[in-house]
Amino acid sequence: MDVVTASSQSSTAGLRRFVTGETALRRWAIASLVANAVLVITGGVVRLTGSGLGCPTWPRCTEDSYVNHPALGIHGVIEFGNRTLTFVLIIVAVLTWITAMRARLDGQPRRGVRRVATVMALGIPAQGVIGGITVLTKLNPFVVALHFLLSMVLVALGVWLVRAAYRLPRQQVRPAANVVVWFTFVAMWIGVWLGTMTTGSGPNAGDLEARRTGWDILTVAHLHANAIYVTIAGTLVLLWLVRSRAVVLLLLVELVQAGIGVTQYNLGLPIGLVAAHLFGAALSIAAVSNLRFATVARSS
């Protein structure tokens, strides 16, 4: 009995270490950020392979089954696999939340960490529901855009959580520089939203029967590109005003992302480049969020 009790206590202690302490918080914060970025990729694969309606209904995959049926073919496999990933994200989010609830700084609860971890944990099932609505609306491009943008919000929150877990300092900048930081941050979000509208107006809508926005793709694509150029311009100004690693990182991501975007447009939207551009959008939001969270206006 003593051996069994000792073994049980040892296992319990091991589980507690799994979700207790700064090291655990850092690991789960990174895991949460990576998991949400991966969701962007898998969601992109669903759309680019025309598998958006691989499971034609929701919450079931078919009218009679919650799981994929061989008759649905490869599209059913891809869509069901993406749905299954939601449960992996829920596990990661719950463990991150438990770790955040147990986190302490100088003996006090870390309320900011708790709040962000809670929002992220609630965001995953919300994402699943919105994903279901996209199926029920036959991939309405505006609902699909909302689905994608929620992933971007979760990525941004993941960046905040990682910075908080590592207790990274914020650089004090002049008020004028802080205004440019905010301008660049907002411009990036506008650019990403216009990117979703560009995709929703083009050929990669997720299924042959999926409706499009009805907007002229050339016009939307140029608006999207111009928003990104404005973002890059803001970043170049910050390179002079702030001169931080966060600015340099953002500029590098923007230039690579812009290069991929221009190339995919001129080559007729090949799937591989479109997928890379989708992942680049997640990296862009992560980088601009990192800059936003790394700076604070200097008090006068």
Read off the pLDDT of each residue in 37-51 and give the average, rounded to a whole number. Answer: 87
- In the predicted model, is pLDDT for residue 210 greater than 90? no
pLDDT at 6: 46
The residues with which 172 forms a beta bridge, in sequence order, are: 296
CA-based nearest residue to 33, from 160, 148, 127, 129: 160
Rounded Cα distance between 213 and 200, Å, is 6
**Residue located via tokens 């447009």:** 265
Residue 209 predicted with pLDDT over 70: no
Q: What is the pLDDT of residue 4?
A: 45
Residue 193: CB atoms within 10 Å:
17
12-26, 45-59, 137-151, 162-176, range with the lowest pLDDT? 12-26
Contact 51, 78 (CB under 8 A): yes
pLDDT tens track for 111-166: 899 999 999 999 999 999 999 999 999 889 999 999 999 999 999 999 999 999 99
Please write the tens of the pLDDT for every residue from 85-115.
Answer: 889 999 999 999 999 999 887 667 788 999 9
Confidence check: pLDDT of 173 > 70: yes
Considering the entire predicted model, what is its pTM? 0.91
The backbone region for 65, taken as left when phi is positive above 0, alpha when psi lies in -120 to 50, beta otherwise, is beta
Q: ∠ CA 139-127-42 to the nearest 5 degrees? A: 70
Residue in the structure block whose two tokens are 């990104």: 228
Name the more confident of 9 and 230: 230
Q: What is the mean pLDDT of residues 42-51?
A: 86
The helix (H) or strand (E) run that includes residue 197 is helix 175-201
Burial (CB < 10 A; 0-12, 13-18, 19+), residue 43, is: buried
Between CA 117 and CA 126, with CA 122 as vertex, the angle to 5 degrees is 145
- Other CB atoms within 10 A of residue 229 CB: 14
